Amino acid sequence: MGTAASPTTAGPSALREWVLIAAMTALAHPAALLIGTAVLTAVVALRAWVPFAWIVLPVLAFTAIPLVTHRPRLTGHAVRPAEEPELTTLVRQVAEGLGFRFPLLVRIVAEPEVAVLPTRTSGFRTFTLFLGLPLVRRLAAAELAAVMAREFADEQHAGGRRTQLLRRARGSLVDSLEKRFRAPAALAERLLRGSRTHIWPLALAADADAAAVAGTPGVRGALTKVGTVDAAFHVLGDTWTEVLGEDGDYPEDLYEALDAALADPYVAPRLAAAAADDEDDPMAIAIEPPLAVRLAALPEHLGHGWDASSPVPLRDADTLERRCVRDLVTAHDVPGEPRPVRLLDLAPERFEASTREAASRLVHATGQDSVRTAMAAAADAVADGTWMQLARALDRETGRLPRPLRSAAARAVLVGYLDCVIGGALLRAGWARASRWTSSVLVDPAGALFDVEELVEHAIASGDPTRIRELLPHFTEGAVC
């Protein structure tokens, strides 16, 4: 396994990258850019720079210093070889396979993420590998090795100062797109698309190096599963934690429940499809190529003997799970001393408060006085093409996004609301759940499966809400609210 990382092919010029860094940083902070421009204009006009230096210097410092001095926080919980020998052995083997010869720390974090970041320990330069507990639990050993190998390779390819600054500048520009006062969308899109030609080849090179060390099957499985686990964590896990937190509770079996949901035949395929649907990117925001492109670009390499069917065993899994759950409770700011409950012992109806809230918002947004008439108005909006206005009434943030992003955001908002309200109404009308983890797939009175989300998506895409209207008789006045 002594495969060193392959050298990155000759990339774009350093000058072009510095220009992109400066331009994206400036556009990410338009207020600072305007102040700087005004000061520069005054200096040229008045031919005196000293009085204005005291204005522009703090502005430049506020904009540039965070970009240059960024340091990661040591979140999560340290893992030592004596405590988790199987996991730390796998980490060491992968690092050696890539020729990654730096002092290395390992920390388990609560969310499904993997990252290798430079840190300092006792004054010495080290690297820390952050491993998300959901991924350690769900990925086979060979897939986890592939994920780690890809992060080590990415650090080797993209760990240079200029590349890191380019990524941070790009990230700050993407973050600024959600602000009310932001750069013109066309200009931001042009810079993001231009910087993508520098970033994407590095991602593909890291994938290829990971395949050389961990085997192509492991990388392929990891790339496919990571997005699914991430979607489950944020779609389901965040909802569970927030709903329970409102009552002063927290899910002590969160990770066990996520495992159960991901094993559900009506949940995992939907989440996997959503994670793989990443080609619609009108503003070139994605830092990595679409999943299909990455999978197609993988070179063929055999595996290297790591278990391809089972996760790496954790000796102290219960303690790590308890600590990570507490981290999430703290992050969600649950008031007081929260009480532990088991998700697997709760009825699915415990989480129907979101259904009632969605129905209430739909009634208010449509100006109707019942859920049935509100759903009829929503069907009318789909038919006459005014559904984006309805989505904006449901979630005002969609109207504040850059214009190229509004259509997809509005569609996601409306699908989410109508799916939630229709599913809740049908359950109240006597239909059954096909899964305890979702109300989007139901069993109708005749025993047939009925996919609510698919129905809503087809109605919006085709502009034909006939099937939604056919469900209106199931909406009794008290069906949801």
For 173, the token pair is 């520009």
Q: Is the distance from CB of 95 to CB of 72 less than 8 angstroms?
A: no
Choice between 22 and 34, residue whose per-residue pLDDT is larger: 22
- With a cut of 70, say whether residue 295 has pLDDT above it: yes
pLDDT at 166: 92
Q: What is the residue extent of each domain of the chain?
A: 77-320, 349-474
Rg value, the chain, Cα:
25
What DSSP state is assigned to residue 263?
Answer: T
Give the separation between CA 147 and CA 209, rounded to whole angstroms. 11
pLDDT at 278: 74
pLDDT at 272: 87
Cα angle at 286 between 280 and 290, to 5 degrees?
Answer: 60
Q: Is the distance from CB of 208 to CB of 297 less than 8 angstroms?
A: yes
Query: Average pLDDT for residues 6-31, to the nearest whole number?
Result: 75
What DSSP state is assigned to residue 308?
Answer: S
**Helix, coil or strand: residue 153:** helix
Query: Average pLDDT for residues 18-31, to the nearest whole number?
Result: 85
Cα angle at 107 between 240 and 244, to 5 degrees?
Answer: 10
Cα dihedral angle (460, 463, 464, 469), rounded to 10 degrees?
60
pLDDT in tens, 62-93: 555 555 555 666 788 999 999 999 999 999 99
Q: Is the distance from CB of 424 to CB of 452 less than 8 angstroms?
A: no
- Confidence tier at 40 by pLDDT (50, 70, 90): low
Q: Pick the range with the lowest mean pLDDT from 37-41, 239-243, 248-252, 385-389.
A: 37-41
